[in-house]
Chains A and B, each alone.
Chain A
Amino acid sequence: MSPHDHDVRRAVALRDLAERRVRRITVAAIAGATALTGVFAGLAAASTHHAKRGVRHDSPRSVTAPTPTLVPNGNEQQAAPPQPQVQPPAVAPPSLPPVVSSGGS
């Protein structure tokens, strides 16, 4: 065997070794990607299923009017309903006797 033949055989061996490494890495990558796809698909499925179940369970309750809570003292967040403009009372002239008293009864 000439030195040239030896070099060729060595190069072929190195090439075959590299090919095997690439194949192993490719197989591992495909396996990992498949596993991750499964995991994410499972998570997505579970998430969708949960939401649907929630809607089904909630829908009968949504028919019933919620019990409104009373307005706590000093609650500033409650929106006031629109009111027609009310004419404020005026000061009665001193000479005008009252017709009636408005007071507690």
Chain B
Amino acid sequence: MTTAHSFPALGTTALVATTSSDALGDARRILESELSELDLACSRFRPDSELVRANARAGEPVEVSALLATAVEAALDAARTTRGIVDPTLGADLRALGYDRTFALVRTRDRWTFEPRRRRSAAWQEVEVDSERLLLRVPTGCELDLGATAKAFGADRAAGRIAAETGTGVLVSLGGDVAVAGAPPPTGWSIEIADHHAAPFGSGPRVTIRSGGLATSSTTARRWRTDRGEAHHLLDPRTGRPAATPWRTVSVAAETCLAANVASTAAIVLGDGAATWLAERGLPSRLVSEDGSVVRVGGWPLEAEAA
């Protein structure tokens, strides 16, 4: 019997579930501690965060914590493995589009006048991070945004730490990016697939996973109005604009939540080539097009739709 606890964090919902009810209290405390550290290191909106400080001093090396250095390395690794499709240097582009504060505040704003900016191509290659000396240099004219990787990175870290410290089987979800660790329940962890992680249960198919991670990216979440139409937060680094994509939602299962989230984000941006790209990597994936039709690749179960 699993038990779970959820609470707001990182501008979304955090949830921790354990196979042992006795371990839930410790698991929750560990998760809260992990998220508090992650927010202080990686937030783009907290004036006291390390990332904001490093962005403000772009062009010069800045001392950072081991946590931020590792998170930036994870983001750069995502850029390398996707050949720049998942790009951590989109911060200024998101700001230009109006995503310049926590999303709760962006959503309440009536309309945003979008001022297009000239985007430097492949600037992520110029980001320098030294994990030994704990130095980070953001390229001049760039702003890091770790939104595409930080939650999944945090979910993996927290799940691993909870399993190691409590010995329980654990599931951690940060806004629908799910990581599991330790011994799973006998039936596996049951997860419902939806366009939005906060949708009521019953709206989508259900699957189980026993290890690794499962992540979903969707253009239906985090949408807001600008003078040039509706925007969403999944930007195409080739244009610096919201990705024009045939997919509204992509879910991917992978060895880690981070790998799953990188792949689901890349799939949204890649558009027509996404199914092939995912299949070539052997990643079980479910892609939902704008008209609701579903494409499954990599062994994603067909029967799940009937649930």
CB distance from B102 to the nearest CB of A (A): 13
Contact B283 A83 (CB under 8 A): yes
Within 8 Å by CB of A90, from B171, B177, B207, lies B207
Contact A70 B238 (CB under 8 A): yes
B-side contacts of A94, CB under 8 Å: 307
Q: Is A60 an interface residue (CB 8 A)?
A: no
Contact B121 A67 (CB under 8 A): yes
Bound-state CA distance A93–B207 (Å) is 8
Within 8 Å by CB of B85, from A71, A90, A91, A101, lies A71
The proximity string for B residues 1-38 relative to A, scoring 1 for CB distances below 8 Å and 0 otherwise, is 01010000000110101000000000000000000000
Bound-state CA distance A63–B238 (Å) is 25
A-side contacts of B121, CB under 8 Å: 67
Q: Is A73 an interface residue (CB 8 A)?
A: yes
Within 8 Å by CB of A101, from B83, B176, B222, B299, lies B176
Q: Is B237 an interface residue (CB 8 A)?
A: yes
Contact B221 A104 (CB under 8 A): yes
Q: Is B212 an interface residue (CB 8 A)?
A: yes
Contact B270 A71 (CB under 8 A): yes
Q: Is B149 an interface residue (CB 8 A)?
A: no
Contact A100 B15 (CB under 8 A): yes
Bound-state CA distance A83–B300 (Å) is 16
A-side contacts of B301, CB under 8 Å: 88-91
Contact B190 A103 (CB under 8 A): no
CB distance from B234 to the nearest CB of A (A): 9
For window 74-105 of A, CB contacts with B under 8 Å fall at 74-76, 78, 80-81, 83-94, 96-105
Q: Is A65 an interface residue (CB 8 A)?
A: yes
Within 8 Å by CB of B253, from A68, A88, A98, A103, lies A88
A-side contacts of B276, CB under 8 Å: 74, 76
Within 8 Å by CB of B273, from A73, A81, A89, A92, lies A73
Kindly specify which of B40-48, B92-100, B160-168, B195-203 makes contact with the partner chain: B195-203
User: Total interface residues on A, using CB and 8 Å?
Assistant: 36
Bound-state CA distance A101–B203 (Å) is 10
Bound-state CA distance A71–B230 (Å) is 26
Within 8 Å by CB of B194, from A85, A87, A102, lies A102
Q: Is B118 an interface residue (CB 8 A)?
A: no
Contact B173 A75 (CB under 8 A): no
Within 8 Å by CB of A105, from B196, B209, B273, B282, lies B196
Contact A104 B209 (CB under 8 A): no
Identify the A interface with B (CB < 8 A). 65, 67-76, 78, 80-81, 83-94, 96-105
Identify the B interface with A (CB < 8 A). 2, 4, 12-13, 15, 17, 81-85, 121-122, 125, 151, 171, 173-178, 187-199, 201, 204, 206-212, 214-222, 237-238, 249, 251, 253-255, 270-273, 276-277, 280-284, 298-301, 303-304, 307
27 pairs, CB–CB < 8 Å, chain A vs chain B:
A74-B271, A74-B272, A74-B276, A76-B273, A83-B283, A86-B255, A86-B298, A87-B212, A88-B299, A89-B191, A91-B207, A91-B304, A91-B307, A92-B187, A92-B191, A96-B208, A97-B190, A98-B201, A100-B15, A100-B191, A100-B197, A101-B192, A101-B201, A102-B214, A104-B197, A105-B12, A105-B174
